[in-house]
Structures are given as structure tokens and as C-alpha cells.
Amino acid sequence: MITVIANQKGGVGKTTTAINLSAAAALKGKRVLLIDLDPQGNSSLSFIDPLTIENSAFELFTEVSQPWESCVYKTNVKKLDIVPSKINLAKLEPKLVSDFEAIYRLRDRIEDIKPHYDHIFIDTPPTLGLITVNALVAATHVLIPIQSSYFALEGTDDLLETIEKVRTRPNPDLEILGVLVTLFDSRTALSRDVEEHIRKVFGDKTFKTIIRRSVRLEESPAHKQPIFTYAPTSSGSEEYKKLCSEVFKRA
Ligand SMILES: Nc1ncnc2c1ncn2[C@@H]1O[C@H](COP(=O)(O)OP(=O)(O)OP(=O)(O)O)[C@@H](O)[C@H]1O
Ligand SMILES: [Mg+2]
């Protein structure tokens, strides 16, 4: 199962979801790989010291004669490995413009990687460019986090259109795994209204689990830990565990 976490809107909880869902799956005993495809490298920073990164996602795409293992690092979570990203990933799109097969780069690489893991999660940047398209072409499932705030659904049409395009040709098997309501604030009527609206638009595709706003979730990356070890009794810890169970059930 290869799940890409995508929404071209920034700051909606993609990275927070990628980090904690990967960790939750690994803690359940699955062999998990997290591929960070955001040049900002936020997922990577949660797990490893950037100074220790040599090969990264950029080399996974470009140095195809090098073994994929050279781009993979262990994390402090048992059974969770990561392909980190560095800012050089921002140079990928210009480098691949003249390659007709550019959208298949990641899929080709993942062919060799996937027998070694039960789950692969891919964190993407807030754009619908070549990097995100590569992830959608390589994936079996897409998970869409949506922030429960005003203009929450702004831009989702473009994302759904891109998913449809990917499905018509390069990857007909791509499925929407689910839509996740994030950054939910139960004290506000707005959050509740937005949740209701999301459930109306996406129906059963919306996960039952909602991720509430939590200071602990915001803090944990700075401590280089997923929420389950940083604040095991917090709401975020409970919610991401529940989400992981829902993901396993749907897959
Ligand atoms: N449930 C939450 N409660 C509190 N803070 C959160 C929550 N989810 C995410 N955040 C915080 O909100 C900010 C944006 O979250 P995150 O980085 O996960 O979003 P993103 O979609 O990956 O952003 P980008 O598009 O820039 O990659 C971060 O500072 C993160 O710590
Ligand atoms: Mg991010």
C-alpha cells in the first residue's frame, strides 16, 4: 500500500499527518517507509538531523544507477525508515523538464522498494507540480487532509481534477483513501460548520476520526518525536492512532 498525502493548500496538516500516521503504523508492527517529497523537509526534520543526510529524495529521482538503499535512513522509531528531502529537491522540476517520462520516475524507483515495506507514505509539497504528480502516479491511495477553517475547500477542485487526470492514464488504480478533517477547533461554530460541509461534499470518504487542534502536535516535531512518544496521552496521540486503524480497515 502506497499512500500519498496531498493537498496543494499550504499548512493543512499534510506533514503532521505523514509523520504520525507513519509512526502509528510502525508502532503497530508494520514495516513502514516515509518518503518526504517536500523540499522544505519538514517531515525529515522530525526524524533525523539534517547534517547527517547525504543522499535524499533528489538522488532517489535522479541517480537511478545508485541503489535505493543509499537514500533511506533509519529513524528513532522501530520499523520506520525515511527517504528525507533537502532543499536541492526544489531543483528537480527544472532538471526533468526535457524528460518525456518524468512523471514515472518515482513509480519506477518504488518498484524495487515496495517489496521491502508493508506501507509507504509520501508527504508532498503544497503544489500540484511534477513532484506531487510523481507521487500520485506511484501511489495506490491518496489521503487528503483538509483544514476545518474558512475557505477549507478552496483548491480541492484542482486537486480532484489532477487525481482524475492521473487516473485516466498513468495510474487507473489510484483510489481516494479518504478525506481527513484537521486543525479542528471544537470551541468554534465555524469548525463544526466546515466539518459538516466536508462530510456533505465527500460523504463516506470522510474519515470518522477528526484531528483536533493540539499544542502537543505542534510541539512534537521540535522534539524530534512523533506524538505517541512525545505526548502519549494527548488528544493528538489518540486521534492519530484511531486514524491509523481506520486507514488499515479501508485499505
Ligand atoms: N492538529 C494540529 N494542532 C495544532 N497544530 C497543528 C496541527 N496540525 C498541524 N499543526 C501545525 O500547523 C502547521 C502546519 O501543519 P503541517 O506542517 O502539518 O501542514 P502542511 O500541510 O504539511 O504544510 P505545508 O503545505 O507547508 O507543507 C505546523 O506548524 C504544524 O505543527
Ligand atoms: Mg508539509
Ligand 1 binding pocket, CB closer than 6 Å: 10-16, 38, 42, 126, 182-183, 211, 213-214, 217-218
pLDDT greater than 90 at residue 16 = yes
Q: What is the mean pLDDT of residues 142-158?
A: 93
Q: Quick one: which atom of ligand 1 is closest to the CA of 125?
A: 27
Residues 202-246 have pLDDT tens digits of 999 999 999 999 999 999 999 999 999 999 999 999 999 999 999
CATH number for 41 = 3.40.50.300
pLDDT greater than 90 at residue 162 = yes
* Region for 38 from its dihedrals, namely left if φ exceeds 0, alpha if ψ lies in -120 to 50, beta otherwise: beta
User: In this structure, which residues have their CB less than 5 angstroms from ion ligand 2?
Assistant: 14-15, 42
- Residue 150: the pLDDT is 85
Cβ neighbours around 195 below 10 Å, total: 18
Ligand 1 centre and the CA of 181: distance in Å?
Answer: 12
Residues 35-65 have pLDDT tens digits of 999 999 999 999 999 999 999 999 999 999 9
Q: Hey, is 22 helix, strand or coil?
A: helix
Task: State pTM to two decimals.
Answer: 0.98
Q: What is the mean pLDDT of residues 64-79?
A: 97
| Cβ burial 138-171 (10 Å sphere, 16+ → b, else e) | bbbbbbbbbbbbeebeebbeebeebbeebeeebb
DSSP 230-245: HSTTSHHHHHHHHHHH
Residues 93-102 have pLDDT tens digits of 999 989 999 9
Q: What is the mean pLDDT of residues 72-90?
A: 97
Domain hosting 125: range is 2-250
pLDDT greater than 90 at residue 171 = yes
Ligand 1 centre and the CA of 43: distance in Å?
Answer: 11
- Return the residue whose CA atom lies nearest to atom 18 of ligand 1: 13
Count of domains observed in the chain: 1
Q: How confident is the model at residue 139 (pLDDT cuts 50, 70, 90)?
A: very high
* 58, 6 Cβ separation under 8 angstroms: no
Hey, which residues does 2 pair with through a beta bridge?
120
Through-space distance between the first and last CA atoms of the chain, rounded to whole angstroms: 8
CA distance 83 to 213: 28
Ligand 2 centre and the CA of 56: distance in Å?
Answer: 17
